[in-house]
Amino acid sequence: MQQRQMGKNGPKISAIGLGAWPIGGGMGPVEEAEAITTVRSAIDAGITFLDTAQAYRTSEDTLGKALSDGYRERCFLATKVSGRYSRRDIEEAMDNSLRALGVEHVDLYQIHSWNPQYPIAESMEAMLRLQEAGKTRYIGVSNYNAAQMQKALQTGLFHSNQPRYNLFARDIEAQDLPFSGQNGIGILAHSPLAKGLLTDKYRPGHIFPDADERSGFPQFQGEIFNRHIAIANRLGLLAADKGLSLLQLAIAWILRREEVSCVLVGAKSETQVLQYLGAVGAEFSSGELADIDKILLGEADD
Ligand SMILES: NC(=O)c1ccc[n+]([C@@H]2O[C@H](COP(=O)([O-])OP(=O)(O)OC[C@H]3O[C@@H](n4cnc5c(N)ncnc54)[C@H](OP(=O)(O)O)[C@@H]3O)[C@@H](O)[C@H]2O)c1
C-alpha cells in the first residue's frame, strides 16, 4: 500500500483508509462478525488508517472488538468528537471513545464539524491538552472550510482536515484544498464513492430501506438519482478504457491531488475492501481529466 505523509510534518499513513461509518449500521445493518472481518481484512491488505467517530452508532464498539488479537498495533486509529465542543464535552467524549475502542490512546482525534455555538479557541485548547496528556498522538478537524481552519490555527497547530471530496462534490477545490496545501494540513477525503453512487451497483428506481441514511438524501431519489447514475455510467466507460472499475477511478481521481493524504472509503465486507486496492498508482493524463470534467458537466457524447 502506498504511504503518504499526513500534512507537512505528520506521520506516514496509508493512502487508502477504511471509513467505519457503514459498519456502525448507518447505511443499513451489518452483522458484527462481517464488520470484524471487514476491518481485519483491510488491515491485512495494508489499509491501516481507520476512521470512526463518537456519532457512528456502534462503530467504535465494533472496532474495539476487531482490534484485539494484535490488530491495534498494526493500524493508525482515528476518531472524532461529534456535535458538542466545550472543553468538558471534548474530554468526556475522548474518555468514552477510548473505553469503547478498548485502547489507551488514539492516533488522531478530530473535531467532527464546525459549530459556532462553541468558541473555537476553547475547543482547540481542549484538543491540545488531550494531545499533551498522551490520549491522542495528533489532532485534526473535519468539514472545516478555509476560514474556519484559519481560525483554529490561531490557537494551535493541527495536522488534518476531513472534508467531503468526490467526483460529484468538488466545492473544496476552489479555496479549501489550496489553503490546506499552503498550511501543511493533510486532507483526509470522506465519502469518496458519493456513498455508493460511484460503484456501478445501483440502477434507476432503486429504493433504499428506511434503516439506510440514503433513504433520506435527495441525491438518491427520483430524477436527481437517475441523473447521477447516468453520469456514473459514462465515467464507468472511461474507467474501463483505463482497465479500472468505476470505484477505482473514483478513488484514484481523488488521489491525483497531492494535498490528499488519505482517501477514506466505507465498506461493509471484505469483498468491497479488496476492490479498492487496484486504485493505487493509477494516473490520469490531462486529456483524461478534461474528459472527466466534460462528463461531469453533462457535455460528453453518449
Ligand atoms: N467527517 C464527516 O462528516 C464524514 C461524513 C461522511 C463520511 N465520513 C467518513 O468517510 C468514510 C467514507 O464515507 P462513507 O462510508 O459515508 O461513503 P463512501 O465511502 O462514499 O461509500 C461507502 C459505501 O459504498 C458502498 N461500497 C463500498 N465499496 C463498494 C464496492 N466495492 N462495491 C460496491 N459498493 C461499495 C457501500 O454501501 P452499499 O454496499 O450499501 O451500497 C459502502 O457503505 C466514512 O465511513 C467515514 O469514516 C466522514
| Atom 9 of ligand 1, nearest CA residue | 190
How does pLDDT run across 43-75, given as a tens digit for each residue? 999 999 999 999 999 999 999 999 998 999 999
DSSP 42: H
Q: Which of 23, 190, 261 to mutate to test the pocket of ligand 1 (most atoms within 8 A of CB)?
A: 190
- 109, β-bridge pairs: 79, 139
- pLDDT tens figures, 11-47: 999 999 999 999 999 999 999 999 999 999 999 999 9
Cβ of 191 less than 6 Å from ligand 1: yes
Domain boundaries, the chain: 3-196+250-282
Instruction: Tell me if 214 CB under 6 Å of ligand 1.
Output: no
Residue 215 Cβ contacting ligand 1 at under 6 Å = no
Report the C-alpha gap between 195 and 151 in whole angstroms.
30
pLDDT in tens, 274-301: 999 999 999 999 999 999 999 999 865 5
* Sequence-ordered strand ranges (E) for the chain: 3-5, 12-14, 16-19, 49-51, 76-81, 106-111, 136-142, 160-162, 186-189, 260-266
- Tell me how far apart the alpha carbons of residues 80 and 203 are, in angstroms, rounded to a whole number: 34
Residue identifier of the C-alpha nearest atom 4 of ligand 1: 190
Estimate the share of the chain in helix, then strand, then coil, as percent rounded to the nearest 5.
45, 20, 40
Q: Is the CB of 201 under 6 A from ligand 1?
A: yes
Cα separation, 67 vs 223, in Å, equals: 42
Q: What is the pLDDT of residue 298?
A: 84
- Helix and strand numbers (H, E) in the chain are 10, 10
Among the atoms of ligand 1, which is closest to the Cα of residue 272? Answer: 31
Cα-to-centroid distance, 133 and ligand 1 (Å)? 32
Q: Encode pLDDT of 123-172 as tens digits.
A: 999 999 999 999 999 999 999 999 999 999 999 999 999 999 999 999 99
Mean residue pLDDT across the chain: 96
Residue 192 binned pLDDT confidence (cut-offs 50, 70, 90): very high
pLDDT mean over 78-89: 98
pLDDT higher than 60, residue 302: no
So what's the pLDDT on residue 299?
65
Q: Specify the pLDDT at position 300.
A: 58
In the annotation, is 56 catalytic? yes
Query: 3-196+250-282, which class in CATH?
Result: alpha beta
Ligand 1: atom nearest CA of 271 is: 31
